Amino acid sequence: MRVAADAPITFGITGASGAPYAVRVLRAFCEAGTPVRLIISGYGLRLLAEETGITGTDGLKAATGDWSNIELYDSLDRGATPASGSAPSRGMLVCPCSMGTLASIAAGTSRNLVERAADVALKERRPLILVPRETPFSLIHLENMTRLTRAGATILPAAPGFYHRPKSIDDLVDFVAARILDHLDVPHSIGTRWKSGERQELQGTGDRGQGTAPNDT
**Domain of 189, in residue numbers:** 9-202
Predicted confidence at residue 45, as pLDDT, reads: 97
Identify whether 162 is part of a domain: yes
Q: Which of 4-8, 199-203, 208-212 has the lowest mean pLDDT?
A: 208-212
Query: Is the pLDDT at 207 greater than 70, yes or no?
Result: no
Identify whether 216 is part of a domain: no
d(CA 91, CA 35): 11
Query: Is the pLDDT at 197 greater than 70, yes or no?
Result: no
Q: At 209, is the pLDDT very low, low, confident or very high (cuts 50, 70, 90)? A: very low
Q: Count other Cβ atoms within 10 Å, centred on residue 45.
A: 20
Predicted confidence at residue 3, as pLDDT, reads: 65
Average pLDDT (92-99) is 98
Identify whether 2 is part of a domain: no
d(CA 71, CA 55): 18
CATH number assigned to the domain comprising residue 53: 3.40.50.1950
Q: How many domains does the chain have?
A: 1
Return the amino acid letter for 111. Answer: R
Task: Write the burial class of residue 153 (CB in 10 Å: 0-12 exposed, 13-18 middle, 19+ buried).
Answer: buried
Average pLDDT (115-129) is 97
Indicate left, alpha or beta for 197 from its phi (over 0: left) and psi (-120 to 50: alpha). Answer: left
Identify whether 3 is part of a domain: no
Predicted confidence at residue 2, as pLDDT, reads: 58
Q: What is the pLDDT of residues 169-179, one digit of tens each?
A: 999 999 999 99
